[in-house]
A = this chain, B = another copy of it.
Amino acid sequence: MPYKHTMRSGDIRSIVYASVMVALILVLASAVFPRTVFAQAALPSWNDTAAKSRIMEFVKATTTEGGEHYVAPEDRIAVFDNDGTLWSEQPYYFQLGFVLDRIKALAPQHPEWKEKEPFKSVLSGDLASVAKSGEMGLVELVTSTHAGMTTDEFSKLVTDWFATARHPKTGKPFDTMTFVPMVELLQYLRANGFKTFIVSGGGIEFMRPVTEKLYGIPPEQVIGSTISTQYALVGDVPSLRRLPKIDFIDDGAGKPVGINQFIGRRPIFVAGNSDGDYEMARWATGGQQHGFALFVHHTDGDREFAYDRQSAFGRLDKALDEAERRNWLVVDMKADWKRVYAFDQ
């Protein structure tokens, strides 16, 4: 349909008037509020410590045109670990909570689990014995709960679980336990032309249903561990079936591999919190470019959890030893963050 517009002099007058008002407001605002006000408004949940300054200096250096360390917008790739970096990971990875709940829900269809490890220990709530079942036991738990359905069905299971499950310590929904300062950091980087990705050891299809809502990161910017899927017609309807077979573990030395496979560019900003993020930190800071790496150090047992070198989940040891030498930023959660969760006072 052709666009029709009957011009009246009243239209022009009101548009001109509005334009003049907008221009006046902009001129007055820029005179009254110096730019530092806007700069200070970034990262409001970070204390004014060296950590915040270093982050902001890096962003300024990489976004100042003509500067020595300027990086073109398309190369401003920032990658974030998820467990322990964007949300909590204690007393166990949230995804393990999902696994335990699924085992309990599926148990009536599997009477043999009552006598079979590691299922038996899950059902009796004996997590120490579950841990003793080792990697093979864990793989069996994951494949028993993450496979055998279509991708759409799995996505719904995940969404439903987040809506109903509660964290064992806080009693809050798991997806409310994201770190406010880190969500602000994601927003701050995006506002400065960075493209933000998640690069996590967690399951890619466990994260994707919630990352847009929690972090503003769409599914196509989420990289994680995968199980194999297979295209198949169900009747005449195409579907993707999840198979009980681990395809790729996106952790440790797998993270640079996953980054290269999915993104095809080397990030210039990496945020992690454990030795599982060590190699991607090396990858981002070991090239020609001015790369930045940050490790969240869990120092706050009151507001969150305090752990590092000895933890079964999110062990931070080697990366902590090398941080100073490699000029990586260690964020002291207790000292550097004004608050942790959005539900904190």
Contact = CB atoms under 8 A, between A and B. Distances in A.
10 contacts: A3-B30, A12-B27, A15-B26, A19-B22, A208-B264, A219-B264, A219-B265, A220-B263, A226-B261, A229-B260
Which of A218, A236, A279 has the most B CB atoms < 10 Å from its CB?
A: A218
A40 B87 CA distance: 49
A238 interface: yes
Given A36-B2, A240-B257, A31 B16 contact: no
A138 to B, nearest CB: 22
B282 A238 contact: yes
Copies held by the complex? 2
Contact of A231 (B24, B253, B263): B253
A151 interface: yes
Contact of A238 (B24, B26, B237, B279): B279
Contacts of A219: 263-265
Contacts of A282: 233, 238
A230 interface: yes
Contact of A35 (B3, B26, B240): B3
A344 interface: no
Contacts of A240: 256-257, 260, 283
A239 to B, nearest CB: 9
A204 interface: yes
Interface string A191-231: 00001000000001100100010000011111000100111
Contacts of A204: 261, 264
A264 B262 CA distance: 12
A238 to B, nearest CB: 4
Given A19-B22, A263-B219, A257 B229 contact: yes
A263 B261 CA distance: 13
A125 interface: no
A23 interface: yes
A41 interface: no
